[in-house]
């Protein structure tokens, strides 16, 4: 993640320049942490432009939680789709939903005699939510670039995707809010913050603490242990023993077991887990 204030200002400005060319915004969030991966300024930046929220990495999130988030955003008047950008699963809804959302605008254009104009979309999201993966999947290998068009910010290209949709090839990068510890931790758990910047043992301990509260049964199943009436320390020790993460002197290898737990969570091996609910 690039945190330089100068860089942040520049991307925000280029995003604002592109905005007038855009009919619909695709705001990409991580389905496991829809609030932590959301930039709170985005609502101000895009104003009342039509928006579809794309909850990505839904292959890793909990299906019941997905339903709750769908309802939450719909109550705010924003439709959502849940997708897996790696496989493209769920992405077939994008054309229909987009057409519905910008029907009024297209009808107005038709009244002015403008027909068959492509719908132009831009992807926005914080780092690591899967913006590039999504763009690659939507454009496909053959993804034809439609070339620079008058009025388009220099360097930006439109990629033809399904239906009459065109996507700006460079996504808008927003920055997450890191001043709230819980939200920052959620981003760290999901891998959105570089691990080198973090104390891996501390992170694994906090993740385990959270998972024990959220989904004790999944932890018990994955590591073949009993969670009830045990402290997080004891549980971590049991997991390490079961996994043979023991150093020569018989001490627990905390670094190794920490990496195992974090990796298991990120790859979905513990289960489909959503870390926050509306
Ligand atoms: P920045 O370039 O940092 O802004 O990131 P980005 O938003 O473009 O994310 P990117 O497409 O690079 O994806 C980040 C990581 O998430 C990669 O390792 C992807 O393989 C992975 N990823 C993206 N989409 C999905 C998904 O739907 N499911 C899963 N399991 N992983 C995904």
For residue 160, give the 3-state DSSP assignment. Answer: strand
Architecture of domain 199-266: Orthogonal Bundle (1.10)
Per-residue pLDDT at 146: 46
CA 169 to chain centroid? 18
Rounded Cα–Cα distance for residues 38 and 21 (Å):
23
pLDDT over 80 (residue 84): yes
Residues with CB under 6 A from ligand 1: 56-57, 59-60, 84-86, 125, 127-133, 173
Q: Which of 82, 128, 173, 268 to mutate to test the pocket of ligand 1 (most atoms within 8 A of CB)?
A: 128
- The lowest-confidence range among 5-14, 74-83, 117-126, 147-156 is 147-156
Kindly give the number of the ligand 1 atom that is closest to the alpha carbon of 28: 7
Kindly give the number of the ligand 1 atom that is closest to the alpha carbon of 56: 27
Q: What is the pLDDT of residues 94-107, one digit of tens each?
A: 998 999 999 888 88
**Prediction ipTM score:** 0.98
Residue 38 backbone phi and psi in degrees, to 5:
-105, 135
pLDDT above 70 coverage of the chain, percent: 93
> In angstroms, what is the span from residue 130 Cα to ligand 1's centroid?
3
Q: Domain residue spans in the chain?
A: 5-173, 199-266
Q: Which CATH superfamily is domain 5-173 in?
A: P-loop containing nucleotide triphosphate hydrolases (3.40.50.300)
3: confidence class by pLDDT, cuts 50, 70, 90: low
Q: What is the pLDDT of residues 42-72, one digit of tens each?
A: 988 888 899 999 999 999 999 999 999 999 9
């Amino acid at each position: 993640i690039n945190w330089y204030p100068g860089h942040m200002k520049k991307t925000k400005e280029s995003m604002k320049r592109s905005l007038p060319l855009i009919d619909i915004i695709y705001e990409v969030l991580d389905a496991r942490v829809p609030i932590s991966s959301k930039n709170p300024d985005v609502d101000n930046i895009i104003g009342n432009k039509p928006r579809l929220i794309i909850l990505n990495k839904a292959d890793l999130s909990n299906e019941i939680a997905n339903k709750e988030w769908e309802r939450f955003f719909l109550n705010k008047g924003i439709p959502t789709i849940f997708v897996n950008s790696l496989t493209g699963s769920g992405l077939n809804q994008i054309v229909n939903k987009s057409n519905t959302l910008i029907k009024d605008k297209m009808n107005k254009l038709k009244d002015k005699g403008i027909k068959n104009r492509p719908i132009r979309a831009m992807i926005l999201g914080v780092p690591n939510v899967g913006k590039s993966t999504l763009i690659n999947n939507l454009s496909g290998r053959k993804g034809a670039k439609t070339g620079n068009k008058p009025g388009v910010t220099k360097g930006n290209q439109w990629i033809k995707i399904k239906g009459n949709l065109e996507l700006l090839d460079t996504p808008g990068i927003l920055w997450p809010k890191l001043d709230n510890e819980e939200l920052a931790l959620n981003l760290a758990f999901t891998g959105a913050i570089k691990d080198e910047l973090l104390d891996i043992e501390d992170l694994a301990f906090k993740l385990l603490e959270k998972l024990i509260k959220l989904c004790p049964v999944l932890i018990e199943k994955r590591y073949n242990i009993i969670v009830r009436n045990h402290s997080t320390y004891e549980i971590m020790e049991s997991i390490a023993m079961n996994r043979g993460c023991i150093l020569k002197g018989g001490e627990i290898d905390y670094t190794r077991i920490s990496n195992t737990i974090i990796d298991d969570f990120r790859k979905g091996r513990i289960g489909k887990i959503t870390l926050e609910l509306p």
